[in-house]
Chains A and B, each alone.
Chain A
Amino acid sequence: MPDLLLELFSEEIPARMQKRASEDLQKLVTDGLVDAGLTYEGAKGFATPRRLALTVHGVTARSADTREERKGPKVGAPEKALEGFMRAAGLSSIDEAQIQSDPKKGEFYVAVIEKPGRDAQEIIAGLIPGIIRNFPWPKSMRWGAGSTKPDTLRWVRPLRSILCTFGPETEDPEVVPFEVDGITSGDVTHGHRFMAPQPLRIRRFDDYTDKLNAAKVVLDSARREEIILEEAKNLAFSQNLDLVEDSALLHEVAGLVEWPIVLMGTFDERFLNLPDEVIQLTIRVNQKCFVLRDPKSGALTNRFILVSNLIASDGGKQIVAGNEKVVRARLSDAMFFWETDLKTPLQARVEKLGNIIFHEQLGTQLQRVERIRSLAKALAPATSAKVAEANRAAELCKADLVTEMVGEFPELQGLMGRYYATAQDETSAVAAACEDHYRPQGPGDTVPSDPVSITVALSDKLDTLSGFWLIDEKPTGSKDPYALRRAALGVIRLILENNCELSLTGAIEQACIGYGDGMKGVAVADDGVAKDLLSFFHDRLKVYLRDQGRRHDLIDAVISEDADDLRLIVRRVEALSEFLASEDGKALLSGSKRAANILRAEEKKEGRAFDSTVSSELLTHPAEKALAEAVDISVGKAKAAVDAHDFTAAIEALSQLRAPVDAFFEDVMVNDDNTQIRENRLNLLNRIRQATHTVADFSKIEG
């Protein structure tokens, strides 16, 4: 069975696009072969900075002949029907169709479409130009003199040559001839740009990888990653150091070289005074190098690993020296930022936040900080934070935004605040809050547990949410540019995971007060804003609980419009789900549903509600007397328990209803002939509904 080898040789392909491109190439070609009626045994795509390659082995040499019969209209059918049939079957005259007949339909036309199989070569030559022309690059470009043509080829960077061979293992494969925008397929490629630029004539895949290897190109990116990792570890080990592994960086670096050569560089020890994160980020982002740790202390050392693409004639001395120079310059910059930043206390920077617009309508970062401060002071009792510390942390929490370091590395916001706060002897709680008030950043991020961090984190997020609600910039559909859903989830997790007793409505109202009524374009807070934002929290809470495996119908059943203590909602859900798993719970649910169904039917029939008091004189049957009594007791107990936030007790009170409800439905006919008795019984059913409602809206529970 023959094999196909394809290589698209170009100017340097961005590292981040290579993997996806090799996968796309594999899928597009193999799908195309299969669609054309060929089969294959296996395929694998590859990418280096300068080439995409694909091997497909065990391809059938020719597609099978096909014969298809297509039934058409009856003989004598209208002209239009015949025309449609001929068009669909590709006939030029109806005489080309056969006539068949069956007892039901009579005589009708049949077109026999016979297609001879095609050589795989021909199929490939027809397939690949289209794949190249429509390749799904995230960004593509035009180049050269040909770029004036409207149909000019677009590629990620200029495409220089195409290699395409096809043939059985035992024979010399042949070039599959085709042409794309002036580039003719052939059997030639090139090795490493500097170490082996000569043309290489290629026959098949094994020959291709061997020749490339000899020409200093490692085709497989996984292999390049392996080489880099192994050599980096060995080099580190030889110096008694540990490599700080970084798989994203490894992947990127493997996409920047065809022949990885791992080298080690050094920088001045004085730079180790910088925070580890700053050193790592500087070296990683700017230089794409790895940092090394001391295995004993775990601290970073003044060594780094670089990956070059060249076996240099001096063994890499100049390459190392050059990289060291750049690392030195970058770390000097960072050191300069660090030292400059340390000269100015954070509180002296706060004023400068007045120059940064947070949002056109919501004012500057300074105004934001002022709001967060007053909110933090108000929330401190609920989070058991010291008011003075919460206030201080809120004052400083955004000050690092105007430091030199964060200006250079925005991703260090928060972390630098913590370092600078520590350096100026703030309490550890205040310093931690400078970093942790941004948390949690997503579902996987940790939630702060220190009361000061919790307070500022809540204040920051509630201020943001309330502000955007006041200017009516809410998330819609997939659009959430200010990450408000994430902020709301953060509030939910902060409250629940720290068990904060907090009235959300009160906190939102407090946050709205911070915006006052003088800000341009900001609506004066009214009930509607707090209500609407609370309902947004309810929605996010449902998503959160659902992700935790809670039944969404139970959540719906316990959330009332004004429920603003999230812990209570969760406790209710927990108590309810436990109850419903018990026999009593199941029976009561079905009893109360039955009551609700009867009520609904009667209410609809008569167009009125049955919500009057149950009259004890009209109770005739012992079972209904017992039920009325039980309901009164249960409601009383359940209400008291709910008020005390003891949902287990409330549920326990409700469960006492199970037996009397069952007995009632067993022994009593609701629709008594006496209309007064009937109405009284309907009122009694309504009491069952009311009783369960003290804990949850049972009508929203499924099953």
Chain B
Amino acid sequence: MDSALLSLLGAFLLSMIGLFAFIWSLRKGLLVENPRAASVIFAKGEIGRVDDPALQGSDHAKLQAAAHEAGDSTDGADAAEIADRVAADRSSAFPVFMFIAFACMWLLFGGIAGLVSSLKLHWPDWLVSEAWMTFGRLRTVHLTAVLYGWITNAELGIIIWLMPRLLRTPLVGTMWLMLGGALVNIAIASGIGAIGAGWTDGLEYLEMPWPIGIFFAAGMVCIIGPVLYTLVNRKTESLYVTTWYHTAGLLWITLLFIVGKMPGVHFGVQQAAMNWWYGHNVLGLWFTPVAVGAIYYFLPKIIARPIRSYNLSLLGFWTLAFFYAQVGGHHLVGGPVPGWLITLSIVQSMMMIVPVIAFSINMGLTLRGRMRLGLYSPTLRFVMFGGIMYLLSSLQGSFEALRSVQQVAHFTHFTVAHAHLGAYGFVTMVLFGAIYFMMPRILHFEWPYPKLISVHFWLASIGILIYFVFLSYGGWLQGLAMLDPARPFIDSVVVTMPWLQWRSVGGALMVASHVVFVLHFLAMVLRLGPNRVGAALFADQGKALGVAHGE
């Protein structure tokens, strides 16, 4: 056996041993369910009391009525714990608002850049007179704006909002968070400007020039500090699932970015291997864990039932940590990189089925018989949609990594469709749901036009489904045409045309949903629209906090 194969086997075995070691070290009551740990997101007496801040009074009552189950306690929630939560929310409101506002701006901007790029693929002579408008730059502007601008800002906002809530302690180091947020967004804005002007590092997902990347990394370090300090100073004994994912995600993205951006180290095909390891893991170790962590909080919180199995979530977390990080090499299948590298990534891609199934079983059991609550709460609908898309996109991704599938799918729009199912159908939809939940708590003001939340949901979900289904089909046809030596290459271009046009239709719906969302957000921030409860809410401060926190 040669050294490459040995190292491959070594990495795999090490992961397995590490996995079992970690689970074993946390074995206390591993086989006994731990409902107390699963319930830490609720105050005493709060289980059974639904919580969707995006719903107005009467709709909230309907959701409550629908969620009622025999045996629910009728006592109020523990006032001291609610007071802790109010203090936690108040401590984080300002920085979280900053991150969410930046995220909304980048979403609108990045979505439009994406739609224009999509249109350019079937109108190739449209907007070509200036260099910054060309497809190669505009698609990269889109990618940087949505991945770093929208998803990263929104996830940072969610992490910072949930940490103090889950740890029952006020956030410390707010000024550092504001500084970090400023640095991160300076980096994103300068990165986008640089790409438009043609200054890029040229590596997919890592285009932001490295001198600008320093600002991003510095910003992330400023953010990690206060988050870890809050973690150490917590009042709760047990750490909830969401906290694991969010702490891990923050550390991973920072390390990942620093390793990936290190100037002058990577070269040739090794750089290509690193590039795709980064590209896959910015999704796997940052977007996914934070969005999964958010589902673990918001879904049970809205329906007011703890997750079914705390231990299953433990298994899901550690398997994700050990398997996902070694994925990415399979993006170079058939390329000039060592074969063992690709095999390792394919094996770990298949292993990723374990955490995905663990998550899905857990959520499925938690939601069993309660799916209909989605009819009453658009926020819940966003989160549920995201959870289902996580299952689908991850299973698709595992099988897509296989050599036989990649033979066709590699180098085609099929991969693009898959990436959007993950980043939009799953992550972005969860982020939308989380923002609808958080904003009324942050601003102490209701969403002014609750009907728009449903409009947003339907536009976005129909948009992404059109995008995914049609583009996947077109991409598959493209792959078959490309693989057939008897057909000229241009066939693989011509065959995609109708599907590229459908992609623009789906993209237009998604952008329309963003316009609705961002205008609604602005209306809320500017306190426009019908002033239903606002006046009463602020007339009586004691009651105001009660209303705002589910009392």
Q: Does B associate with A?
A: no
Interface residues of A (CB under 8 A from B): none
